[in-house]
Amino acid sequence: MSIEPLFCAALQTNISPLLTIDIEGITDTQTALIDSGSSANFIDPQFACSHNIPLIELHSPALSLALMASKQFSTISYALPLGNRSLSLRTPWLKLANPDIDWTTMKVSLCLATEAQAGSINPEPQNLPVELQEFQKVFSEEIFTTLPEHCPYDSAIDLEEDKQPPYGPIYSMTPAERESLKEHIDSELGCHNQE
C-alpha cells in the first residue's frame, strides 16, 4: 500500500494565489495556498485524517504531486493546522513546479515544457509573387551545386613564386566544429570541379 497520495492540479480562474487540487480517491476539489515566503510545504492534519491520507513520522514524510496529470513531483509536506485551506504549497513546490505567476493579477499558469518538433524545409519556394518568379531558379538545388562561369572580371590571387600562404586558423574552433567544417568543405568540393 502506497502512502504517497497523488494530486492533480488545475488552475483556478479567480485572482487569488490558490491552486485547485484534485486528489486521487477524493471527489471534492481542494484549494492550496501558494506561498513563496516559506521554506516548507504543509498539509492540514484534519484534512489528511478525514481523507485517509496517512501521516507518518518526520523521518520520511512525502507527498507525490502530479501537475495536470502529466508530471509528478515528490515533496516533503509537514502537518500543520491551516484553517480553511487543505494544503500550503511553498518554496520547495514552487522550485519543482516552476509555475508562471503574474503577481499583478495573481494568476498562476502551469506551463509544462513541450519538445519542439523539427520540420522539413522545401528548398524550392512555392507560390512566389509574380515579380519574383523570374528568380525561382536561384533557389533550385541544381543552381546551388554549380559554380558560375568564368568571366573577364574574375580576380586572380597571384602568389609569390615558390611560396605558400601561412596556415593558421581565422578564429578558434572546438575539435567538433573543426571536424564539421572539414566534412562540409569536403562534401562541397566533391560537388564542384575546382582547380
Is the full-model pTM beyond 0.95? no
Which one, of 67, 4, 56, lies nearest residue 32 by Cα?
A: 67
Q: What are the structural domain ranges in the chain? A: 6-109, 124-149+170-195
- DSSP states of 163-180: --PPP--SS---HHHHHH
SS3 141: helix
Higher pLDDT, 162 or 16: 162
pLDDT at 59: 60
d(CA 40, CA 55): 16
Q: What is the pLDDT of residues 133-191, one digit of tens each?
A: 888 877 777 777 777 788 888 888 888 888 887 777 777 888 899 899 999 888 877 76
Average pLDDT, the chain: 70
pLDDT > 80? residue 117: no
CATH superfamily of 6-109: Acid Proteases (2.40.70.10)
